[in-house]
Amino acid sequence: MNVIFFYSIAGRTKSDAIDSCLESFVHLSCVSPQDKKVAEHCITCAANGNYPSEEYFANIYPQKPTTRYKTEAEIVTHYKLMVDFFMRQYALRQLTQAGNETTTYSDLLTRVNKIMEDAETLNEDDFEFKEYAAELYGDVEDKPLEQGMLMGVEEIDKTTHGFQRGTVASICGFTGHGKSTACNSSVYLNIMQGKKALIISLELAPELLWKQFETRYMFDAKGMNVSLDQFLYHTLDKDKTELVKLNENDMRKELLPNLLIIDENKINKKMMQDYRKINKLLKSAEHFLGGLDMVVLDHVGQLELLYPECGNMILKQLTSAAKTYKNDKGEKISMVWAVQCNREGNKRAIRRDGQYDLQAIADLNEVERSSTYCVFLYTSDGMKITQETKVSLLKNRLGVPIPQPFVTSFTPSVVSVGKKVEHMDLDSSDFSFTQMNDFEDLPPF
């Protein structure tokens, strides 16, 4: 296969695409030293404008191939298939050797895991740096800053232009103050604009989250006077039930294709300790959805409980995934974390009428370090009745923060934060009320 590749480029004018293939080829461990020398010579010749003539390759590979490719696209496609073939053969040799040299299942498994880890270093893109080329203002001056993932709170979105791709945004708050509602409200807003989102739910079962999104869709997109508890407890009357079923056809077309909700069954400790493995999970989600723009973890504090003493390291790996992952369009993603504030931080916010400080999320230090944006929600019992919350932006690495809390709407009965809706009637199932002197009875962080 390599002979077909070399004869196909013989005498051709230098090409960036072919140069890229040759440069990656010389770094592959699964090809022979002779083939690497030929590739290096091709790169040297290309610096003068052309690849070596057919006579050069004939001296090394006397048996000329019957197939040659004429277009650059065909050559690049063949190169990728060729590398895949070499890597497969290399892996088979390694696995065969492992089978011959081990006597127990445990030893074989250890060798196979080592082979899989080593295989990641064979990727032909490992030594490509073109994606890190500097991008100066003049290179994109006619292209305004792309609107990122919207939170749905006007003041936050105006300041941040949306959460930008390649960043982590933390939505922080104490128990029951609306951080999960804010995350889901943001996801709804973005997927209804055509974005693709993955939610990793570490608190609620996915089927419960789907009820939240259906409530918001029926209320927001279809104008139905419904609430979350009616969907959860199946208390819709007959007329509304029929109308919901009718409108679900539109929901399946407009919302469902853009959203995937999974739980901890799809993650494990080994995966969460290596951002490259996290990226593989994201790629699988992207293939399922046909794209990926936004990833939400609700909530990251559970990672420390799932994997004791690994919380901060896992958060760093998640941050690296947000920085490095690119979807099939070549775009990075935005990552959003729901973050539990600690009790002392919440008590300070109570004394200061809703004004938080970053020490309120100090339990997992990596949250504050990794986050480009830190948004805080404060919702007192009285504000739950008035369906409002106080919001502040205490950290904004890409612009100015908003340290002084401001009031915006908070309507968990239709899974909405920031969007002004008609005041909803409340009943005892809408909120759980907590007296200020009962904090010690709350479940631990």
Whether residue 261 lies inside any domain: the answer is: yes
- What percent of the chain has pLDDT above 90? 59
Is the alpha carbon torsion for 339, 267, 164, 187 positive or negative?
negative
- pLDDT value at position 121? 53
Average pLDDT, the chain: 87
Query: Half-sphere exposure of residue 162, counting CA atoms within 13 Å on the CB side?
Result: 19
Tokens of 246: 């009718």
Q: Are residues 351 and 435 in the same domain?
A: yes
CATH number of the domain at 408, please: 3.40.50.300
Give 429's pLDDT tier (boundaries 50, 70, 90): very low
Same-domain check for residues 117 and 196:
no
118 and 198 fall within a common domain: no
Q: 165 and 96 share a domain?
A: no
Q: In the chain, how many domains are there?
A: 2
Distances (CA, A) of 330 to 90, 147, 175, 283: 29, 16, 37, 12
Output the pTM of the full model. 0.70
Q: Is the pLDDT of residue 322 over 50?
A: yes
Mean pLDDT to the nearest integer, 102-127: 71
Question: Could you tell me if 64 and 199 lie in one domain?
Answer: no
Within a domain: 148: no
The answer to whether residues 165 and 250 belong to one domain is yes
Residue 128, SS3?
coil
Q: Is the pLDDT of residue 229 over 90?
A: yes
Q: Which two tokens stand for residue 325?
A: 């992952």
Structure tokens given for 264: 């901890």
Angle, CA 201 vertex, CA 431 and CA 182 arms, to 5°: 50
Q: Please say if the pLDDT value at position 345 is more than 50.
A: yes
pLDDT by residue (tens digit) across 248-297?
999 999 999 999 999 999 999 999 999 999 999 999 999 999 999 999 99
Asked whether residue 65 is domain-assigned, the answer is yes
Residue 142 belongs to a domain:
no
Residue-range definition of the domain harbouring residue 98: 2-129
56-92: b (≥16 Cβ within 10 Å) or e? bbeeebeeeeeebbeeeeebbebbeebbeebbeebbe
Q: Is residue 105 part of a domain?
A: yes
Contacts 24+ apart (CB under 8 A), 35-43: 35/2, 38/6, 42/6, 42/9, 43/19
Burial of 178 from C-beta contacts in 10 A (0-12 / 13-18 / 19+): buried
108 and 29 in a single domain? The answer is yes
d(CA 423, CA 10) in angstroms, rounded, equals 73
Same-domain check for residues 316 and 431: yes
| pLDDT at res. 378 | 98
In a domain, 74, yes or no: yes
- Tell me how far apart the alpha carbons of residues 76 and 79 are, in angstroms, rounded to a whole number: 5
Sequence-distant (≥ 6) Cβ neighbours of residue 325 within 8 angstroms: 278, 279, 282, 283, 332, 333
Residue 431: pLDDT above 70?
no
Question: Is residue 166 in a domain?
Answer: yes
pLDDT confidence tier of residue 437, bands split at 50, 70 and 90:
very low
- Among 24-33, 404-413, 422-431, which is the least confidently predicted range? 422-431
User: Is the distance from CB of 7 to CB of 82 less than 8 angstroms?
Assistant: no
**Residue 328: how many other CB atoms lie within 10 Å:** 11
Q: What is the pLDDT of residues 358-387, one digit of tens each?
A: 999 988 789 999 999 999 999 999 999 999
Does pLDDT of 65 surpass 70?
yes
Q: Are residues 164 and 102 in the same domain?
A: no
Looking at the fold, whether 111 and 159 belong to one and the same domain comes out as no
**What Cα–Cα distance (Å) separates residue 334 from each residue in 166, 167, 267?**
6, 6, 19
221 with 302, same domain: the answer is yes
Does residue 305 share a domain with residue 257?
Answer: yes
**Within-domain flag for 134:** no
- Token pair in block for residue 308: 């004791």
* Residue 408 amino acid letter: T
Token pair of 258, please? 């853009």
Phi, psi (degrees; rounded to nearest 5) at 106: -60, -45
Strands of the sheet containing 259-262, edge to edge, are 259-262, 197-201, 294-298, 334-340, 168-173, 373-378, 388-396, 402-411, 416-417
